[in-house]
A and B are shown apart, each in its own frame.
Chain A
Amino acid sequence: MTTIVAAESLLPGFSTPAMIAVGSAVLVIVLLAVFGKIPIGYNLNNLRVRWRTTLMTALAFTLVTGVLTVMLAFLNGMFALTSESGQPGNVIILAEGMTDETFSTLQFNELSDLERLPEVVRNGAGQALVSKETYIIANQEIHVASPGKRQRRFLQMRGVDDAVLTAQVHAATLHDGGRWFTGSGVQESPGGGLSLIEAVIGEGIARELAKDRSGEAAAKAQNSERLDVGDTFEVIERTFVVTGVMKSAGTTFDSEVWCTQSLVGPLFGKERFSSMVVRTPSAETAQKLKNYLNNEFKAEAVNAQVETEYFAGLSESTRVFLIAVTFLTVVIAVGGIFGVMNTMFAAISQRSQDVGVLRLLGFKRRQVLVSFLLESLLIAVIGGAVGCGLGFLADGWQANSIVTGSAGGGGKFVVLRLIVDGNVLATGMVLSVSMGFLGGLLPSLNAMRLSPLAALR
């Protein structure tokens, strides 16, 4: 156990089960090779001599493992997004029956009942950490869209009452140079006309919005990668000015635009709040508060959830993708196994005399079995390792996706990062080794059954 803990500290991405799986596989191979009296040199020599066949088989392993690694990295990013977005001490309050902010409309605006609850945490200024939020999915028209490309995007906007308080509730922070909008939430337009609406935006959507800049605007931009403080964008024929960019990577807030609720609510005809988020000191207190709000809260029947549970519930699309990835992987792996079998059957048929000599030299049937199996496993390990290495290049890639809840409807459009961690690599290697094992087993059993004399004949 100490070894595992030590290894975990060296390889933080690897979980204990993954390490045990990979460790066990390596240990079995080494033990078989060392104590099984296997002619390992003979096997290595054969792999070298038949290098073209070895290379092509290993390449097949590389492709299958590489694709699996990328697909798993995508799923990993989605899992991370839904598991890291919430605060364990936060309770999110939606309208009764609603499981998603998109359709939720709270009928009460009076917060005093909530703020007086003893479970609610207060900040240094004595304010109760309660955030009132209106969630809106806006149709943003893309004016510089090229012909044949989409003309609009769905922009997720969150109208909040007090940005500083909301940031404290969600533990959100800004990149250097940014500030939370305060007061009226507007700025005077330099050219006159309608005032600019102040907005704080997630890093992910800042990058997406930057893609819509005209060539001239992009050339003048202080940040070529994403929108930054002072940059503007348009929604619903109003200009929004960025006052801050959130450090939001890996959370659903990464794809959101935050503004003053009293401005954007009426603008989109959604004047009531969609949700309220209450900060409590711990996960246990959050659970208690959730039960109280669902069963005893008098102001309105509501659906309260611990925030981490709410975001975990948005993993339906991840589940669907996981099923699809698993199915595809299994089918591709079966195809690969047939390929490996072909190679190994051919190798054995070409070397049946070698098997006879090995048997006459005193090697047991099981040693012949393990010898050929090791050959197949070795190709699998090399091909798999290269595949994992190629798949690792996908780590950090940005991708758009959608997360939805099991009850259907709603969902959030998200910008996520692919994560290739230890578990993903371990899964890739386990798949590769399994393919090698299953593909090599039947041919090796065939080799094992050969009688020395028949083989030499």
Chain B
Amino acid sequence: MKFMLLVLQNVRRNKLRTTLTCLGTMVLVVVVTLVWSVLTNLQAQLDQDKSKMKAIVTERWRIPSQMPYAYARGLSEGAARKEGDIRPEDSMSWSFYGGSTDPEKRTRESMLFAIAMEPRKMTTMLDELDDLPDSQAQELKRVADAMEKNVQAIIVGKDRLAALKRRVGDRFKLTSINYKGIDLEFEILGVFPPGRYDQSAIMNIEYLNRSLEKYERETGRKHVQADRSMNLFWLVVPDTAAFNKISGQIMESPDYKAPAVRVETLAAGVATFMEPLKDILWGMRWLLAPAVLATLSLVIANAISISVRERYTEFAVLKVLGYKPWQILTIVLCEALIIGTLSGLLSAALTWLVVNHVVGGLPVQLGFFGKFYVPAAAFWWGTAVGAGTALVGSLLPAWTACRVRVAQVFARVA
């Protein structure tokens, strides 16, 4: 106890130095926390929930994938045709419809890209929306049910809604970008719960399909996108064995040859889309984060070194009083650890609070990923980074302190 009091007194002795070291540590831990948060969020996309494995079916040879909507019915059955074939647990189709509220001026503020799908699948198939707190889940179900009845209904994320300068209940018309000649009117029925879908929008696929049929009736010819209106098809399978089986069923089926399709796990698909970003991620992981950690160690090492040099006499007195070298070493290490650990923890907590609950996520637009959040694990990262760099930075000064020669110090003083 006395030992700890001594350490605390030492930490409090030079308040300016302690404050500056804490601030330096906190600021640099912020960077490490942010970098690791982005990397962890991306990794989470690659690590699938083993109890609910997702697979995606896309056009095999080109992107953007464009398949006939007619594929949806068979794919929802996992292309099961014969005895022994298995079916997916759940499925959904995705079509992308994009347009602008201002046909003359297509800006980020006027553009909206909506996923056209079966609204009821929002509550069972979309990550994070399938696991909402009760009140939010009920509200989402209410909106989904209303969207099933009103095909013109649309649900929009809060950030996109703000960018469009619209509110729930507003009606608006989109001049289409990818379905030329099919301009659709929408009624905003709800907003996604805050988080991952803040920039997203979902419409009823039935509305798009009916509009394509109407186009054909009115013009006498099929719309150029009519036979390629489905962009992705999602399947939920229980495990890898089921994935392999269903994947085989689909790939061998003659129904999906023109155009040919590919079935892959969500993780494999995400990995391919992340490929162009791999060098940036490498730089973040192996260049930026280590450089910040090294800088942090230097900042702490410098502060502790200065502190040790100023206290040679004190360490000599401690030795005279009977303190062993390892006890002096521990005193210095503990001083650094207290500063590093507390600063790291506080920094991570503040970063978590500000990013997740004040700013509402990091809007780093990497590929098709939305906002990034600081995971709860950041609390121990911050603590560990603060403590680890403090330990590394204080090892040499602590060693110097414990090797102080009493005779030499007092000779100098004398």
**Which residues of chain A have a CB within 8 Å of any CB of chain B?**
52-53, 56-57, 59-60, 63-64, 66-67, 70-71, 74, 95-99, 102-103, 105, 136-139, 150-154, 235-236, 268-270, 317, 320-321, 324, 328, 331-332, 334-336, 338-339, 341-343, 345-346, 350, 399-402, 406-409, 413-414
Contact = CB atoms under 8 A, between A and B. Distances in A.
Given A338-B23, A408-B108, A331 B30 contact: yes
A102 B100 CA distance: 18
Contact of A98 (B21, B177, B276, B279): B177
A103 to B, nearest CB: 6
Contact of B62 (A95, A139, A413): A139
Tell me which of A74, A320, A407 has the highest count of chain B C-beta atoms within 10 A of its own C-beta: A407
Contacts of A57: 298, 302
Given A67-B291, A413-B276, A139 B17 contact: no
Interface in B252-279: 259, 262, 264, 268, 271-272, 275-279
A342 B177 contact: no
B275 A60 contact: no
Contacts of A402: 276-277, 367
A1 to B, nearest CB: 39
A56 B61 contact: no
B20 A332 contact: no
A103 B178 CA distance: 7
Interface string B9-44: 000000011001101110110110011000000000
10 contacts: A56-B298, A63-B291, A64-B295, A97-B175, A150-B272, A151-B268, A268-B62, A346-B306, A399-B283, A409-B113
A409 B98 contact: yes
A339 B24 contact: yes
Q: How large is the interface on B (under 10, 10 to 19, 20 to 34, 35 or more residues)?
A: 35 or more
Contacts of B171: none
B292 interface: yes
Contact of A346 (B17, B288, B296): B17
Given A63-B295, A70-B283, A139-B62, A153 B27 contact: no
Contacts of A342: 17, 20-21, 24, 299, 302-303, 306
B272 A63 contact: no
Interface in B83-107: 98, 100, 106-107
B115 interface: no
Contacts of B413: none
B358 interface: no
Given A103-B178, A334-B27, A53 B365 contact: no
A96 B279 CA distance: 35
Interface in B55-114: 59-64, 98, 100, 106-108, 111, 113
Contacts of A139: 59-63, 262
Contacts of B224: 105
Nearest to A317: B365
B321 interface: no
Contacts of A414: 276
A406 to B, nearest CB: 6
A345 B24 CA distance: 14
B287 interface: yes
B294 A63 contact: yes
Given A154-B272, A401-B280, A408 B364 contact: no
A136 B61 CA distance: 10
B301 interface: yes
A414 B299 CA distance: 38
10 nearest CB pairs, A to B: A338-B24, A339-B299, A335-B27, A399-B279, A335-B28, A346-B306, A67-B291, A402-B276, A413-B276, A342-B20
Contact of A97 (B16, B177, B305): B177
Given A137-B64, A150-B271, 13 more contacts: A67-B292, A102-B64, A138-B62, A152-B272, A154-B272, A331-B28, A332-B292, A335-B292, A336-B24, A343-B306, A345-B20, A401-B280, A408-B111
A409 B61 CA distance: 19
A190 to B, nearest CB: 25
Interface string B346-362: 00000000000000000
Contact of B279 (A328, A339, A341, A401): A401
Nearest to A316: B365
B180 interface: yes
Interface of B: 16-17, 20-21, 23-25, 27-28, 30-31, 34-35, 59-64, 98, 100, 106-108, 111, 113, 175, 177-178, 180, 224, 259, 262, 264, 268, 271-272, 275-280, 283, 287-288, 291-292, 294-296, 298-299, 301-303, 305-306, 310, 364-365, 367
Contacts of A138: 61-62
Contacts of B98: 409
Contacts of B288: 67, 71, 328
A216 B11 CA distance: 64
A345 B16 contact: yes
A268 B31 CA distance: 45
A338 B364 contact: no
B275 A150 contact: yes
A147 to B, nearest CB: 12
Nearest to A255: B276
B268 A96 contact: no
A345 B34 CA distance: 30
Contact of B31 (A102, A332, A339, A400): A332
A136 B35 CA distance: 34
Given A70-B287, A152-B272, A407-B108, A332 B298 contact: no
A324 B364 contact: yes
Contacts of B283: 70-71, 74, 399
* Most B CB within 10 A of own CB, among A102, A235, A320, A408: A408
A342 B106 CA distance: 51
Contacts of A235: 61
Given A343-B306, A407-B111, A400 B30 contact: no
B276 to A, nearest CB: 4
B184 to A, nearest CB: 15
Contacts of A270: 62
B194 to A, nearest CB: 21
Given A67-B291, A332-B295, A345-B17, A268 B61 contact: yes
A400 B279 contact: yes
Contacts of A269: 62, 259
A60 B298 contact: yes
A32 B302 CA distance: 28
A320 B362 CA distance: 12
A60 B299 contact: yes
A98 B98 CA distance: 11
B305 A406 contact: no
B112 to A, nearest CB: 10
Nearest to B19: A338
A324 B364 CA distance: 8
A60 B295 contact: yes
B20 A338 contact: yes
B388 to A, nearest CB: 16
Nearest to A329: B31
Contacts of A52: 305
Nearest to B199: A408
Identify the interface centre among A53, A95, A336, A342: most chain B CB within 10 Å of its CB: A342
Contacts of B30: 331
Nearest to B112: A408
A431 to B, nearest CB: 13
Contacts of A407: 106-108, 111
A402 B277 CA distance: 7
